[in-house]
Amino acid sequence: MLVITGAAGFIGSCLLAEFTRKNTHHIIAVDDFSIENKQANFIHTTGVEFIDREVFLAWFSTNAMRVDAVLHIGARTNTTEQDLEVLDHLNLRYSIHIWELCTEHQIPMIYASSAATYGNGEHGYTDDHALIPSLKPMNPYGQSKQDFDLWVLAQEKTPPFWAGLKFFNVYGPNEYHKGRMASVVMHTFNQIQATGSMSLFKSHKADVADGYQSRDFVYVKDVVRVIVFLLEQKPKSAIYNLGSGEANPFIDLARFTFEAMGKESNISFIDTPIDIRDTYQYYTCAGMDKLHNAGYPHAFHSLKEGVYDYVQSYLLPHRYY
């Protein structure tokens, strides 16, 4: 039996679809399944047991002996969330409870951390455990993920295998519901469809040209593949980066999206919104040596490959994973 939390969301629903196709486990899908704009992510899934996230912990307490592994992907993922109680409940205390049950019953656990824990990148983007206490996230969401990472590293008793995954900028199918928090690829696609053009944020740093703010964009198919590898191979328990290992400028992402749609590039620049300007990251790039040294054998999609596949296989036909 495999538990997937956050199963109605972006990454969680892709994992749900992947493991449903693999048919290796009976799947327990956990989330708030009442949210209407997420239902298309899972509505056609069959052979799965759905459990509301607010009753899951009680269910897990009495059914843990039947569970083979937990993929704890569920979280409050809005990077502009300011309600600390919501973040404490969903991203910290809920995660601690799952960890403790996995430890008590010796159940492997993989959980979602975030590259938001790296803050402005002053300490780099290396997933060395010794550096994690020095990290200073730039928003409450990132701090909630940092708090759980630090709690995990302080534990003497652990699940038999565990992995925390610092997701970088994930994009791909099943993010239709995310609104403002959707990937830049999806925003670009939607804006091109509506207007024939794309507006990117201006740079507010003298040493960075407009459009050359760079991020580590990682395709959700690679994220799923890494999680399958970790679950099956169970290398050394650790917190791992999960990015592509490359930093790409937003202007390239926009150009690739235009190309994948068969349209001429038409890119302009607007001011970065005031509410995110002070916490806006100008560069991220995941150090991926730890994962590769743990035996992960696969290459990641280049940004161009991922954008072309996402646009042509999913966004244009409005398909799901």
List 111, 141, 176, 296, catalytic entry: 141
Encoded tokens for 128: 């060395």
Q: Would you put residue 76 in left (φ > 0), alpha (ψ -120 to 50) or beta?
A: beta
| Per-residue 3-state assignment (H helix, E strand, C coil) for the chain | CEEEECCCCHHHHHHHHHHHHHCCCCEEEEECCCCHHHHHHCCCCCCEEEEEHHHHHHHHHHHHHHCCEEEECCCCCCCCCCCHHHHHHHHHHHHHHHHHHHHHCCCCEEEEEEHHHHCCCCCCCCCCHHHHHHCCCCCHHHHHHHHHHHHHHCCCCCCCCEEEEEECEEECCCCHHHHHHCCHHHHHHHHHHHHCCEEEECCCCCCCCCCCCEECEEEHHHHHHHHHHHHHHCCCCEEEEECCCCCEEHHHHHHHHHHHCCCCCCEEEECCCHHHHCCCCCECCCCCHHHHHCCCCCCCCCHHHHHHHHHHHHHCCCCCC
List 178, 202, 263, 304, catalytic entry: 178
Q: Is 141 designated active site?
A: yes
Q: Is 178 designated active site?
A: yes
**Residue 44 and residue 147: Cα distance in Å, rounded?**
36
CA angle 233–26–157, rounded 5-degree value: 50
Residues classed as catalytic: 141, 178
